[in-house]
Amino acid sequence: MARSRLADFRKHKDDYFRDGANSPLDIDDIEDFEALDYFPENPALSFLLEIDTDAPGTHEVVPLDTSDGLVVEFARAGKIHFPVDGEEYTLTVLRDLDRGRFFLPFTDATTGTDTYDIGRYIDPQQNPDGHLIVDFNYAYNPYCAYGEGWSCPIPPAENALPVRIEAGEKRFGK
C-alpha cells in the first residue's frame, strides 16, 4: 500500500532533522534521533476555508513576543472559522510582513502536555480561488522546541483554542 502524502512529508522531515546540515536539533540529540512523534493522521482536521478579510483588526500590525525576549511583527490577514467536534472555532491568520506568507500560530488544550509549551504553527496555503488550506495534520513545533539559539514567535492570546487539536507534531521528548 502506498504511503499518504502526509506520511511522505513526515518521513522527509524526520530525515532532514536527522541528516540535514541545518537541523534544528542540538548536536547531542541528532546522534540518537530516529523520528519526531506525531498524532495519527486526522482527516477531520483538514480544511479548505474562506478567510474573512473584513474582520475587525484585519491588516493591523500585530507584535508577537518571541521565546528569546524579542518582538516580531506580523499583519492580521483575517479570520478563519472551522468546526472541531461539532463546535465552531475561530483563529486569526497572520501574514509575514517581509514575504507575505500566511502564518497561523496557535495553542490548544494539548499545549504544554502532549504538545510544545508555547504552541504550534501552521503555514496555510492559498488556493487560486482565495480559500486557505488549513490542515492541522501539518501543525509543527517551532524550532525552539528542539534546540538552543532559536527565536520563536509566541502565539497571540486570540489564537488560544479551548479544544484539543489532536493532529500534527507532538512534544519533542528529551
pLDDT in tens, the chain (174 residues): 567 899 999 999 999 999 878 899 988 888 889 999 999 999 999 999 999 999 888 889 999 999 999 999 999 999 999 999 999 999 999 999 999 899 999 999 999 999 999 999 999 999 999 999 999 999 999 999 998 889 999 999 999 999 999 999 999 985
Would residue 99 count as lying in a domain?
yes
Q: Which domain, by its residues, includes 78?
A: 42-159
Would residue 27 count as lying in a domain?
no
- Cα 120 from Cα 135, distance rounded (Å): 13
Residue 26: phi and psi, rounded to 5, are: -65, 150
Number of domains present in the structure of the chain: 1
- Give the full edge-to-edge strand order of the sheet including 71-84: 61-65, 71-84, 87-96, 102-106, 120-122
Would residue 115 count as lying in a domain?
yes
Would residue 15 count as lying in a domain?
no
Would residue 35 count as lying in a domain?
no
Would residue 14 count as lying in a domain?
no
Would residue 105 count as lying in a domain?
yes
User: Within 13 Å, how many C-alpha atoms sit on residue 86's CB side?
Assistant: 0
- Cα 134 from Cα 112, distance rounded (Å): 22
**Residues 167, 64, 47, CA angle at the centre, nearest 5°?**
30
pLDDT of residue 55: 86
| Distance (Å) of CA 47 to CA 74, 126, 146, 157 | 23, 12, 28, 22
Would residue 165 count as lying in a domain?
no
Residues pairing with 73 in the sheet: 63
pLDDT of residue 1: 55
pLDDT of residue 28: 85
Contact criterion met (CB below 8 Å) for 138 and 47: no
pLDDT of residue 20: 76
Hey, is 65 helix, strand or coil?
Answer: strand
